[in-house]
Amino acid sequence: MDKSVPGPWSGWLHGLLGVIIFSGSLPATRLAVQDMDPFLLTFLRASIAGLLAVALLVGFRQKRPRLAQLVPLIIVSSGVVIGFPLLTALALQHITSAHSIVFIGLLPLMTALFGV
């Protein structure tokens, strides 16, 4: 079997891995905001993710983004890297992670409804 072509279950397994990892995010954030400032927590999460991303991009020798790609990249990363984690951390100071998971679970449904 050719190792360069992913198997038929590869996408499902990667998706499952992503769901498993993400499912621990809100309970871990809830624990973290009990002892840490949400702004510090967001900064640390973004810093760790950024360092890991740079290491992977350099390690795999990927090209740098073109100038035309930077504005969309900054817009998306401001929401994904700063906005979502910061607002989640601020909210988890006042509600349980179980309640927050309900709202996070509704995101795909709302996206589908408003996308139609």
Per-residue pLDDT tens digits for 7-56: 889 989 998 998 888 889 999 999 999 999 999 999 999 999 999 999 99
Better-predicted residue by pLDDT, 4 or 75: 75
- The predicted pLDDT at position 3 comes to 66
Q: Which among 11, 35, 33, 6 has a CA at the least distance from the CA of 96?
A: 33
Alpha carbon 91 to its chain centroid, in Å, reads: 17
Better-predicted residue by pLDDT, 112 or 43: 43
Are residues 82 and 42 in contact, defined by beta-carbon separation less than 8 angstroms?
yes
Alpha carbon 52 to its chain centroid, in Å, reads: 13
**Contact partners, residue 109, CB within 8 Å, separation at least 6:** none
Q: What is the pTM of this model?
A: 0.80
